[in-house]
Amino acid sequence: MKEGPDHVAKTSRREPVTFLEAVSEALWEEMEADPSVFLIGEDIGRYGGAFKVTRGFLERFGPDRVVDAPIAEGGFTAAAAGAAHMGMRPVVEMQFMDFISPAYDVLTNYIATSEFRGAGPLPLVVRGPVGGGGGGGPFHSQNVEMAFFHTPGLTIVYPSNPYDAKGLLKASIRLDAPVVFEEHKGLYRSPALRTTLPDEDYVVPIGSAKTVREGDALTLVTYGMMVHRSLEAASRVAEEDGIEVEIVDLRTLLPLDDDHLVGAVRATGRLLIVHEDTRTGGIAGEIAMRINERAFEWLDGPIVRVTADDSPVPFAARLEAEFLPSVDDIVEAIRTLARY
């Protein structure tokens, strides 16, 4: 079925794919399977997208299903909402997720509330690259999840690897509800993440966290790029200190998988939360409060968080490295909490 550009045919040839290729495959397969799925965004057609996620899509699906939009994020997100009302399943690409702010009004005031107002569900996905580490500065490096986390009616998904990226994106497109889907651009072409995916159709359940490393000293909860930095930190403290850390990848941020988190913390008695987003108003605070409500008596130490600083993302490489949570930061937090 996956005839088309090389980057959407690798799984059918049993070749490993990158995170970016997994996203491309998900979009291609859903467009092949369902004619109501279409794409809209800036430069996604002839140019193939800023990161070439949609390279070759225009030639296969045509301009009615791969729609090049003007620089008007609020406008083309609203157009996607109208199409969803008419039975379509639009996938909106933000060239960088930082640019989603003009669409905040239509996403929070109209799209998220549509079903509650009796106007019916709006099955649409707004997806795009997030995250720092590439010197993009404050306009091309933000994590936008918490801007929408407080909005009932939205789903927020943030995968950390190609398997989950493909399965969660397919599940998001099929969901009868609006989804904000974040893809860390630092993971897009990472050679270390290349993996062979199942050739058969699959989805990853939305709202389900996953334990990606077993351990009994403490539970570390994270998502996105920080999954990989946390895994590196956990390997270091295991080798150097004999501390075995359990790591939970949230995968879906809204809704949170409370049962998985509570069960993990009850088993280890300690909780460390790591996220790339800035500190104040970050998801760590919400997770900490939920654990406080449901697992306080199992805690053997304070809940600790490692996050980015409360600052716009710096341009300069040295400042950006200082701003972002590092492996060393996570190692230090693990050691401190394990000793408590």
Q: Domain ranges in the chain?
A: 6-193, 210-339
Reply yes or no on whether 140 is catalytic: yes
Query: 């900490």: which residue's tokens?
Result: 288
pLDDT given for residue 7 in this prediction: 84
Q: Which of 135, 171, 172, 185 is nearest to 19 (CA)?
A: 185
Report the pLDDT averaged over residues 46-71: 97
The phi-psi region of residue 216 (left if phi > 0; otherwise alpha if psi is between -120 and 50; otherwise beta) is alpha
Q: Whole-number mean pLDDT of the chain?
A: 97
Average pLDDT over residues 99-118: 97
Over residues 207-228, the pLDDT tens digits come to 999 999 999 999 999 999 999 9
CB burial string 111-124: b at 16+ within 10 A, e below:
bbbbeeeeeeebbb
* Res 3 pLDDT > 90: no
Q: Do domains 6-193 and 210-339 have the same CATH topology?
A: yes
Distances (CA, A) of 212 to 158, 166, 220, 236, 256: 15, 17, 10, 16, 17
What pairing do the DSSP bridges indicate for beta strands 245-249 and 271-278?
Answer: unpaired
Q: Which of 144, 147, 222, 221 has the alpha carbon at shortest distance from 185?
A: 144
Which residues partner with 38 through β-bridges?
90
Using DSSP bridges, classify how beta strands 125-130 and 66-68 pair: parallel, antiparallel or unpaired.
unpaired
Report d(CA 39, CA 222) in Å as an integer: 30
Q: How sure is the predictor about 5, in pLDDT bands with cuts at 50, 70 and 90?
A: confident
Strand ranges (DSSP E) for the chain? 37-41, 66-68, 89-93, 125-130, 155-157, 179-184, 210-213, 218-222, 245-249, 252-254, 271-278, 304-308
What angle is formed at CA 185 by the lines to CA 178 and CA 127, rounded to 5 degrees? 15
Share of the chain above pLDDT 90, in %: 98
Distance CA 77, CA 296 (A): 42
User: Do the beta carbons of residue 148 and residue 319 sit within 8 Å?
Assistant: no
- Predicted local confidence at residue 6, as pLDDT: 83
307 vs 170, 279, 281, 311, CA distance in Å?
30, 5, 11, 11
How much is the pTM?
A: 0.97
330 and 296 Cβ atoms separated by less than 8 Å: no
Cα 332–chain centre separation: 26
* Beta strand 210-213 pairing with 245-249: antiparallel
Q: What is the mean pLDDT of residues 78-87?
A: 98
- Token couple for 134: 């590439």
Is the domain covering 210-339 a CATH 3.40.50.920 domain? yes
Q: Which of 139, 68, 79, 67 is nearest to 103 (CA)?
A: 79
**Cβ neighbours around 300 below 10 Å, total:** 11
Whether the pLDDT of residue 283 is over 90: the answer is yes
Nearest by Cα to 188 from 22, 14, 69, 302: 22
Express each pLDDT in 154-203 by its tens digit. Answer: 999 999 999 999 999 999 999 999 999 999 999 999 999 999 999 999 99
The answer as to CATH 3.40.50.970 being correct for domain 6-193 is yes
Amino acid at 124: L
CB-neighbour burial class of residue 35 (10 A; exposed 0-12, middle 13-18, buried 19+):
exposed
Catalytic residue from among 7, 85, 140, 260 = 140
Does residue 338 register a pLDDT over 80? yes
Q: Is the pLDDT of residue 284 over 70?
A: yes
From the list 71, 88, 103, 96, the residue with the least C-alpha distance to 36 is 88
Please classify residue 334 by burial: count the beta carbons closer than 10 Å to its beta carbon, then call 0-12 exposed, 13-18 middle and 19+ buried: buried
Q: Phi-psi category of 218—alpha, beta or left, where left has phi over 0 and alpha has psi -120 to 50?
A: beta
